[in-house]
Amino acid sequence: MEKLLAVAVVLAILALGFAVTQLRASERARRSSETLGRRVENLTNRLADLDEERRAMETVLSSMEEGVLLVSPVGGIRLINAAAERHLGTRPATLSGLTPLGLQAIIRGAAADGQTHSLELETGAPSRWLRASAIPVGDGSVLLVVRDVTEARRTESIRRDFVANASHELKTPAASIRAAAETLRTSARDDPAAVPRFAEQLEREAIRLSRIVSDLLDLSRLEGGSDLDEEVALDALLREEAERFQRAAAESGIRLSIRSEAVGRVRGSPRDLSLLIRNLVDNAIRYTRPGGAVEVSVGSENGLMVLSVEDTGIGIPSRDLPRIFERFYRVDRARSRETGGTGLGLSIVKHVVENHGGTVHVRSELGRGTTFVVRLPVLRSE
């Protein structure tokens, strides 16, 4: 009996020990599980953070106007955003597949010397200008940043050329007047026969200067808008000016034909619309050689009033076409004094058309002639 009791006690002690061991193991397992759970949670949170960061980065990159492209040291494209794809027109997989070729050159240059390389290049049809910078980023990779600078270049050239052109147009007649006045002072005494010639020069340049001032005042007024408070019949306006145009054309030996059909009325300013017609027709006569022809017509098309001025004149080179509506812009500065314009006429035309909610388009071919087409909204009858 005692033996049995002793065995039972031993067994109980063993069982207790086992239970304690199990309890401890279970506690350790619980703690491990908790630690693992926390780690999994941390990891999940970290992954979520990373995912959020990646999405934020993608949002930033995809909403950028600048194209961004990351090239690995071995020439793979590691990252390219939507703007880069848009600017380049492709989504290259490797550096060797990147066009325009100039971009490859600056990336290779930046990778070789660790310096930023930049360039501007013209590409595509219709033509666009891209400005690109290849920036080394440390691990042998190169970041390429590409911007479309077509509009910025245009604005910059307008700003730069305006100052030079305006000062040229204003200084030239002023210098001529001064020279003629000085010569007159001495000629009156030494060579009285020359006086009428210099007096004529004086008068001509004074008229020219006065026309520039008058056009500048018109432009300044038009920048504030036109008074659109009258109903204007453009065909009637054209007929009013016809006689003056015919006289000017005949003096230049140019055949002028005017066709006007009765069209609807335009809401606008008769004074400004007259300026529009006068500038376009005067321009056509001025840039057409004797023996050439100018055809002016007013009609309607798709509910719009269409004024067309077509000449068989010298034409406009394609590189100048996008710029002819700029103030003081001259296609051929050397010829501008012969033709006698102020360099402001087409700028006035553009302002009048825009003030009246219309459009103006030009087609031209060098040596064959030019056509300006103005479209204006016709007033709806009540």
Partner 1 sequence: MPAIRSHFHEELDALELDILAMGELAERSVGRAVEALARNDRDEVEAVVAGDDEIDARYLSVEQRIVELLALQTPVASDLRLITSMLHVNLHLERIGDMAVNIAKTTRSILDLPSSGAILAHIQEMSDVVRPMIRTAMEAFRTRDLDLCLRLPAMDDPVDRLNLGMYKEVAALAGDPDALNWGLRMILIARQLERVGDHAVDIGEQIGFLLTGEFREFTDASHPVHLTPDAG
Contacts to partner 1 by CB under 8 A: 89-90, 92, 96-97, 99-101, 123-127, 310, 317-319, 332, 334, 362-371
Q: What is the DSSP letter of 100?
A: S
CB nearer partner 1, residue 35 or residue 99: 99
CB nearer partner 1, residue 319 or residue 380: 319
CB nearer partner 1, residue 132 or residue 202: 132
CB nearer partner 1, residue 90 or residue 186: 90
**From the CB of 373, what's the least distance to partner 1, in Å?**
8
Contact in structure between 232 and 269 (CB atoms under 8 Å): yes
**From the CB of 320, what's the least distance to partner 1, in Å?**
10
**From the CB of 127, what's the least distance to partner 1, in Å?**
6
Angle 131-137-143 (CA atoms, 0-180°, nearest 5)?
Answer: 30
CB nearer partner 1, residue 212 or residue 256: 256
**From the CB of 110, what's the least distance to partner 1, in Å?**
20
**From the CB of 102, what's the least distance to partner 1, in Å?**
8
Separation CA 22–CA 363 (nearest Å): 95
Separation CA 295–CA 207 (nearest Å): 28
Quickly list DSSP for 179-232.
HHHHHHHHHHHH-GGGHHHHHHHHHHHHHHHHHHHHHHHHHHHHHT-----EEE
**From the CB of 125, what's the least distance to partner 1, in Å?**
4
Separation CA 258–CA 235 (nearest Å): 10
Residues constituting the chain: 382
- The residue to which tokens 């071995």 are assigned: 74
CB nearer partner 1, residue 123 or residue 150: 123
